Amino acid sequence: MTWLEAADWPTESPGDRFAALVDRPGILRVPGAHNAMAGLLAKKQGFEALYISGAAITASLGIPDVGILALEELCFFTRTIYRATRLPILVDADTGYGEVMNVMRTVRELEAAGAAAMQMEDQVLPKKCGHLNGKQLVTTQEMCEKIAAARKARTHLRIVARTDAVANEGLDGGIARAKAYVEAGADYAFADGVTDAAGFRRFAAECGAPFMANMTEFGKTPYFTASEFEAMGCKIVIWPVSSLRVAAKAMERVYAELAEKDTLFDHLDQMQTRAELYETIGYHDFEALDASVARTVVPEDRRTRN
């Protein structure tokens, strides 16, 4: 069934569906999806929720993650990934795209695009990746006001409050901010740039809400498994940019081979076939909606040279 058919859309709100997944025993594994195809492939592997990373989206647009992504661009990706997968999506909304009224608009626009939850951080624009140096923070009070505004605007969207204070204010300062953000109305807490298991245990035990871990590659956090994060007390773990990193490296290799050999024949076994593509996107399901469209016959896979 396709997303064009009303019967294939969930009746429960995305936010409530996301909360139900978090409330289950164990940890919720949430891979990043930088476009709808990535979301479909993650869903095919059984993942029940997705993450949209600002870093992954900006990189896919050829720009750095420094707060210049526009809200409408973020909503476009959210809308396309949600309609393709119908999975609950946690969306990285950077600093909320402004102050109190801007944050409220961000909540309303993301809900309209299909988001289940919104992550907002306590940095000053221009923001930076949580694993990089030189981050500047707003005051705890300013962030609490934005969280309260998001809470006022939402109908179902869950709010993930992220603090980047660990690098600037230490573990105690980060935990104090996380606790204040939860008291201001955040549903979940998240601290980026935590460097060891002890830090994750303290945040999970002391923040006052379900805690989210970020298992990004090439950052400050050691490579823990979801089970290890669960043992530390975390309830959610994200892999935000993994799909983009793998796709980018694969494209780099294919372009290099094409430039060198003028053919990709030797690269075929590393490609998604036409049949696999059509199955993933439900090609025949769309054709079946219109009786005037002939069912496509996929050409035979002939792996021979002319």
Domain coordinates in residue numbering, the chain: 6-241, 248-287
Omega of the bond leading into 10 within 30 degrees of 0 (cis): no
**CA distances to 87, 140, 173, 214 from 189, in Å:** 21, 14, 14, 12
Each residue's pLDDT, cut to its tens digit, for the chain (306 residues) gives 899 999 889 999 999 999 999 999 999 999 999 999 999 999 999 999 999 999 999 999 999 989 899 999 999 999 999 999 999 999 999 999 999 999 999 999 999 999 999 999 999 988 777 677 767 899 999 999 999 999 999 999 999 999 999 988 999 999 999 999 999 999 999 999 899 999 999 999 999 999 999 999 998 899 999 999 999 999 999 999 999 999 999 999 999 999 999 999 999 999 999 999 999 999 999 999 988 988 988 888 877 766
**CA distances to 23, 36, 85, 239 from 47, in Å:** 16, 14, 11, 12
**CA distances to 96, 140, 253 from 2, in Å:** 32, 45, 33
* pLDDT score, position 306: 62
Looking at domain 6-241, does it have CATH number 3.40.50.620?
no
* pLDDT score, position 71: 97
**CA distances to 68, 233, 276, 302, 303 from 299, in Å:** 44, 51, 12, 9, 12
* pLDDT score, position 305: 67
Cα(54)–Cα(63) distance, rounded to whole angstroms?
Answer: 11
Burial track 178-198 (b if 16+ CB lie within 10 A, e otherwise): bbbbbebbbbbbbbbbbeeee
* pLDDT score, position 211: 98
C-alpha closest to that of 123 among 148, 160, 98, 87: 98
Task: Say what the pTM is.
Answer: 0.94
